Structure formats: structure tokens, C-alpha cells
Structure 1
Amino acid sequence: MTINAHPVTDPVAHHGEGPVWHRRWGGLRWVDMLAGDVLALDERGEVRRRHVGAVAAVVRPRRSGGFIVAAERELMLADDDDLDAPLRSLGEAWQDPSVRMNDGGCDPDGRFYIGTMAYDATPGKGTFYVADPDGKLTVVLPDVTISNGFDFSPEGDRAYYIDTPTGRVDVFDYDGERGLTGRRPFVTVDRGSPDGLTVDAEGGVWVALWDGGAVHRYTSDGALDSVVELPVRKVTSVAFGGPDLDRLFITTSAVDTDRKEQPQAGALFAAEPGVRGRPVLETAL
């Protein structure tokens, strides 16, 4: 099935990433990653922007209220849901300026995961971490290159993960005591490179295709069953949103893109996919 997407905003981001819908926010948030900005789309369709540092890699809600931001080399917490709420740092996680945070997310037990990559995408220089209750990072996967999409099955017993240069989506088994185990290939994409992902309420895995100009939906057994076509090549991430979680929001990038050829690169898009998403997993940090 082919699904068309339509722009929700102008090209407001240079490198849009990481869309997240949360009921307390009353709308969608995402990041203009390399500008270091968190963006918010309210119910009127207006976009607000907040600068948080050199990089804004991930934004996620906290169970206790407020939100977490993964910046260049640190995690930052806000105690209030307002976009402009004060942020406090949990400390610099490493000192190497050539490595930055990239994509991440939460598990069903509230742990926060964050992946990294080298600015120049040096193979094997990235890491996939989980944050301890005090914010200290513990290695889950070493020697990754571009740590990207991460989300869970509706039952919470499987996790999907992308290291972009592999060209694959991998799957793990998950339980609260052992964490992530049994990594194995789920699907190999045949169009562009896999970037961000989200999982719908039926267990379908939606994968944004960098340089592929599309989003693919794979069933839980790995069969491709839907394609969302976009008018820009660099599709970065996806999330379900809206009051009924029935809209698929899609972020895009204008990095190394001729805006004359792709004038909508960097815009936020949406599609009506005919399935619902799930509420975003919150962190207990």
C-alpha cells in the first residue's frame, strides 16, 4: 500500500529529527539536531524553538513530569513540561569532542537509552548506552557507527534498533531484569539507509529511509506492507501523534541538499496511515 504525506510546516529545520508526541505537551516536539534546538508544534500549527546547546539529539517525557534532552555530550533534565523550563545537566558523559549523542529512547521500565556517533561517522566509534538512575552511562553495545532508531513492540518483549551503515533493522529480546539480549537481524532495507523508527499498536515497524525519500512499514514478521512517499530524499524519523495517535509525523533533513531541487527539505510532514500508534515510553530519570 502506498500512502502520501503532506507538509505540516515550512522547512523550519536544517536537520529535523526525533519527533515525539506527548499528551502533557499538547502537541509534537522534535529537534533541529545540529542547530541544537528543540522545536514544538502546538495545536494551532505554530512552531516554537528553544536552543539547548551545540546539539539537541533527543527529547523525551519524564514520568515525574518535565522532560529529558540529550545534548552533545550530556543529558539534561527539566522538571516542568513547558518548553522553556530550566534545564540541569547530569554532567559531561565523555570528553572526546569528535563524538556526539545521536538517537535514543526509553524502555518499558523507564530506563533511558542514548546512542552516539563520530561527527565524521568513523566506523565503530559510536556506542549505544543506557543511563543509570544517577545519569551515568553504561555500555549496551560498543563499536557501532551511527546509532539510530530504537523502539519496542506493543507487548514490550522485543526492541528494534538501527545502526544505520549496516542497512538493517535489528531486533532484541527484552525483559526488565536482563535488559536487551539476543540481537539478530529483523529486516534489511532496499531503499536508502534506515534512520529513525517507531512501532505502531499492531506491532508494525515504521522506518524512515535516509536518502530513500520514504518511510517503510514492516509487519512484525518482517514483511514490507506499506510505503509512505515523500518529496524529499533525507527522511530522518517518525512518530505517531494527535489526540488519537492516528497521524504519522515524519521529520526530514536539508543537510547537503540543494533546496532549489528539494524546497521542502527540513519540513515536518504527516500522513494518515490507517493504524494507530502507542503512547511514547517515558523515562524514570
Structure 2
Amino acid sequence: MPELQTLLTGLAFGESPRWHEDRLWFSNWGTQEIVAVDLEGQSEVMTRVPTTIPFCIDWLPDGRLLVVSGREGLLLRREPDGELVTHADLRSLADIWNEIVVDGRGNIYVNGGSFNAPGIIALLTPNGSVRQVADNIAFPNGMAVTSDNKTLIVAESHGNRLTAFDIDGDGGLSNRRVWAALEGAAPDGICLDAEGAVWYGDVPNKCCVRVREGGEVLQTIHLDRGCFACMLGGGKKQTLFLMVAEWRGFEHMADQTRTGQILTTRAPAPGVGWP
């Protein structure tokens, strides 16, 4: 594995990285900012979100940005004039919302729950309907959809596993199964590569890991701080971006210490699927 390079420093907590229009977009938790950075490290604040944490991002097929306003239970949409409007109200299904992925057919999957109960996954279809499609998720975190739109994988951070579902014709989820049991791990943000492997960030274990279905670990990148998420992008989508920061507990997330960084390295296989 090539050496790690530092792309950006001085972040609070970089989360929800997405490769979009030749830049890495991400949420800078603790600052209310959604930022885009190019491969030379030039960054730009793209919009500000009236929330604290979590807020995660993806795009509709027509190019409009979606933002999960987690504590408010809202999915926001950025209009062409820059205004953030409510795309969907999710408060009837769960208290707090976290990660989002939009598949190749325009189905929107959002996960959430609360700190004291198992989490859920909700589906928002292109026709505007909203329903719960999975439950009993042990602290749901990163999600990814395979390039054929047939499988959704979710990281269960408190379950030490990656869990897969078949995606039905109507967007529903079925055939739940353990994609990879990860003893001692706490998978957070994830992404897929063209060899069928998943990269996942791990905060308490301070690493980013590449694993194949069944649980075989292919590579481990050891770090000096927690890895909250990862994404494949760049030229030919073969640059691995790692969102890292020192973690001292939820009670310290509002501290002004900016230990967040974006690190990069060359990956063995390009990114595929969504996000």
C-alpha cells in the first residue's frame, strides 16, 4: 500500500465523504459546513446547514444535494438557488437520523434510531412515499449499494458486522444476512470497490480496513486517530480518502480542538456502486 498523504487539516469531524463533480464533498461536523476539496487540497464551503450533528449528504439523480439533518429528523434538499428546503419529514419513524445513500434508481435510504434502542432503515422512493424497510440495526452507520442496485450493505457499529440486504423491485429490503462478521471492530463509514470488497473506517481501533464478503481482512491501514469514514474517488476512482480525527467521546464533540484531517492513498481497486 502506498504511503498516506495529507490532503486537508484543521477540520472538526469530517464525515459522509462523497466523490462528486471531481471533488471530495463532506460534512464538517461541529461547524455546520458542507465542504468540497479538490485533489490539490483547495477547499470551498458549499453550503451551511442549520443543525449540529449528525448531517450526511448525497444527491438526487437530477443533481440536487440532499442533507440529513439528523437531530431535527428532517431530510433537506438544496434548490438551484441555494435554498435548503424540507424534502421529507422523518420524525414519525425515529428520533435521530444518520447516514444516507441514494441508489442508481433514485431510491433514498436513510438510517437512524436512538442511542438507547436498535436502529432502522427508511426508504424514500422517487414517487415520494416513505416507509421503514429494516429494523433491529445495532447502531446503523455507513451504507453502500452495489452497482447493480441489487444489494445494500450497512455497517452495524455496535454489532461488529457488516449486514447485507437484497433490494427488491419496489426498493424494499429482504434476505437479511451477515456480510462480514468483524470481531472487535466498530465499522463506521464504508465504500465498495470493483473487486467486491468493502473499505470501512473504525474509530476506536484507529484504522481503515478492507474486507471481503465472509470477513477475510485484505488490508488494514493503521492510523494515529479514529477513522470515521472512507471513500474511493479521484482519477479512475482509485484514490482512497480517509476522514480521521481524535475521538474523546460525545461530550467533547463541541470542543474547539480541530484534529480532523483528510488523508489519501492509492487503492488496489477502483470504487463502484453508491455513494
1:93 aligns with 2:90: yes
Alpha-carbon shift at residue 227 of structure 1 (Å):
1.3
**Structure 2 CA distance for aligned equivalents of residues 140 and 280 of structure 1:** 18
Question: Structure 1 pair 180/111, CA: closer, same or farther in 2 (3 Å)?
Answer: same
1:122 aligns with 2:122: no
* 8 A contact 1:247–1:270 mirrored in 2: yes
Alpha-carbon shift at residue 152 of structure 1 (Å):
2.3
Query: What are the equivalent positions in structure 2 for 1:202-221 lying under 5 Å apart?
Result: 202-221=195-214
1:113 aligns with 2:109: yes
For each residue in 1:41-60, what CA deviation from the matched residue of structure 2 results, as whole angstroms up to 9, or x when unmatched? 13441222332121352211
**Structure 1 CA distance for aligned equivalents of residues 4 and 110 of structure 2:** 29
Alpha-carbon shift at residue 65 of structure 1 (Å):
2.0
Question: Structure 1 pair 112/129, CA: closer, same or farther in 2 (3 Å)?
Answer: same
2:239 paired residue number:
247
**Structure 2 CA distance for aligned equivalents of residues 56 and 179 of structure 1:** 25
**Structure 2 CA distance for aligned equivalents of residues 95 and 178 of structure 1:** 20
2:55 to 54, 57, 62: 57
Query: What are the equivalent positions in structure 2 for 1:3-42 lying under 5 Å apart?
Result: 4-13=3-12, 15-23=13-21, 26-42=22-38
| TM value normalised by structure 2 | 0.85
* 8 A contact 1:35–1:56 mirrored in 2: no
Query: What are the equivalent positions in structure 2 for 1:1-285 lying under 5 Å apart?
Result: 4-13=3-12, 15-23=13-21, 26-49=22-45, 50-54=47-51, 55=53, 57-72=55-70, 73-80=73-80, 85-94=82-91, 99-118=95-114, 121-124=115-118, 126-133=119-126, 135=128, 137-177=130-170, 179-232=172-225, 234-256=226-248, 265-278=259-272, 280-281=274-275
| TM value normalised by structure 1 | 0.82
Alpha-carbon shift at residue 167 of structure 1 (Å):
0.8
Alpha-carbon shift at residue 253 of structure 1 (Å):
3.5
For each residue in 1:138-197, what CA deviation from the matched residue of structure 2 results, as whole angstroms up to 9, or x when unmatched? 111234342111112343332211221111111122243363211111212234411111
* 8 A contact 2:161–2:187 mirrored in 1: yes
Aligned residue for 2:158, secondary structure, equals: helix
Alpha-carbon shift at residue 264 of structure 1 (Å):
8.0
- Percent of residue pairs identical: 20
Aligned residue for 1:244, secondary structure, equals: helix
Alpha-carbon shift at residue 107 of structure 1 (Å):
2.4
**Structure 1 CA distance for aligned equivalents of residues 184 and 36 of structure 2:** 30
**Structure 1 CA distance for aligned equivalents of residues 74 and 197 of structure 2:** 32
* 8 A contact 1:250–1:268 mirrored in 2: yes
Alpha-carbon shift at residue 127 of structure 1 (Å):
2.2
* 8 A contact 2:107–2:123 mirrored in 1: yes
Structure 2's unaligned 5+ residue stretches are: none
**Structure 1 CA distance for aligned equivalents of residues 127 and 54 of structure 2:** 21
Structure 1's unaligned 5+ residue stretches are: none
* 8 A contact 1:104–1:148 mirrored in 2: no
Question: Structure 1 pair 254/117, CA: closer, same or farther in 2 (3 Å)?
Answer: farther
